[in-house]
Amino acid sequence: MSESAPMFDLTPTEEEFMTREVMRRFAAEEMAPKARAADEAASLPDDFLQKTVELGLNFMPVPEALGGVGAGHQPISNTLTIEDLAQGDMSMALAVLAPLAVINTVMKWGTSAQQTRVADTLLLDQFAPAAIALLEPGLSCDPANLSATAQQQPDGTWHLSGKKSLLPFGPEAQLLLVFAKAVSTAGESLGTRGFLLAPSLAGCSFTREQYMGLRPLPLYAANFSDVALPADAVLRDDFDLEQFLSLSRIATAALAVGTCQSVLDYVKDYVNERVAFGEPISHRQSVAFMVADMATELEGLRLMVYRAASQAEQGLDCSRMAYLAHRQAVKVGMKIGTDGVQLLGGHGFTREHPVELWYRNLRALAILTGLVVA
């Protein structure tokens, strides 16, 4: 076996099995039944975020000394959790997972002071929103060459300027982790760096955005105009952009797996129950083959995501597999969403069935890098 394709075990540990049971039950009881109403209202259910605190997700990677569970960074467990929550609803899952993305990133690459700040701010009995600001408006966004800049001042402080889009919670967040091109006092580029800040700082402004999908998720466009940041706002020098992107690609692909599973489960029942010309439409080869293709493509995607997560868990270079899994997730997610709508015929175009909602959410997979981190 080559080093690029190490062996990995798909058997969940006892802890992972119990966690999955909790997540699946929460998704089935608190997310899926409320997804349509949340989409129509373009807002999360009033009590939803507070209920997620009981899941304890934010506490898992944080050391015990900071009030957490001390489980450390667990890409496999994170991936399984993301998949299970996405099966309930992708928009709600992103809202739950946005603070965890900040926590995972800061616990991995933040200074001791930043880790303490994050723990004190986000590990509470009340849900505390937080989010990562990576994406920028425009036709494309290259994380290695961002338009937003953080100019280092002679005294070591920073001035942040630039625009961001698809930012969960925006001004409602307790903390934001904003990525920008760092520039030294000598004018030299220091690469992409992350800066931890409160959205209430002078120079931060936000505008609510609306999209065809992810409607319940409060997404904002952000403008940072010469925001003054202290010297210790920046993540450690050993921050690895490629590894960060790989972990985010794995997480995004896991969102696709969970949502596509919902599509497949729904259309399987539909084609077996829908009768035309005296028999279920699943008896027609064109329908049966389409469902079989959906199941095959989904299982292949799931294995790719698990392999990437396994490599990350083992401390191996997962960049290649994470990229392939993300690329496949965008492709397969779009196809399964489209085929799901198609299998419902005219019903697929109506809002009577949830398949069109899943289709609209799956369209966002290509532009979610940075919102979630495995």
Predicted confidence band of residue 128 (pLDDT cuts 50, 70, 90): very high
Question: What predicted TM-score, i.e. pTM, was given to this entire model?
Answer: 0.94
Render pLDDT for 67-124 as a digit per residue (tens, 0 to 9): 999 999 999 999 999 999 999 999 999 999 999 999 999 999 999 999 999 999 999 9
Predicted confidence band of residue 27 (pLDDT cuts 50, 70, 90): very high
Render pLDDT for 44-82 as a digit per residue (tens, 0 to 9): 999 999 999 999 999 999 999 999 999 999 999 999 999
Render pLDDT for 336-360 as a digit per residue (tens, 0 to 9): 999 999 999 988 888 999 999 999 9
Q: Map the chain to HEC letters.
A: CCCCCCCCCCCCCHHHHHHHHHHHHHHHHHHHHHHHHHHHHCCCCCCHHHHHHHHCHHHCCCCHHHCCCCCCCCHHHHHHHHHHHHHHCHHHHHHHHHHHHHHHHHHHHCCHHHHHHHHHHHCCCCCCCEEEECCCCCCCCCCCCCCCEEEECCCCCEEEEEEEEEEECHHHCCEEEEEEEEECCCCCEEEEEEEEECCCCCCEEEEEECCCCCCCCCEEEEEEEEEEECHHHECCCCCCHHHHHHHHHHHHHHHHHHHHHHHHHHHHHHHHHCEECCEEHHHCHHHHHHHHHHHHHHHHHHHHHHHHHHHHHCCCCCHHHHHHHHHHHHHHHHHHHHHHHHHCHHHHHCCCCCHHHHHHHHCCHHHCECCECC
Render pLDDT for 151-166 as a digit per residue (tens, 0 to 9): 999 999 999 999 999 9
- pLDDT of residue 228 exceeding 90: yes
Q: What is the pLDDT of residue 282?
A: 82
- pLDDT of residue 2 exceeding 50: no
- Once rounded to an integer, what is the mean pLDDT over residues 171-186? 97
Q: What is the pLDDT of residue 138?
A: 83
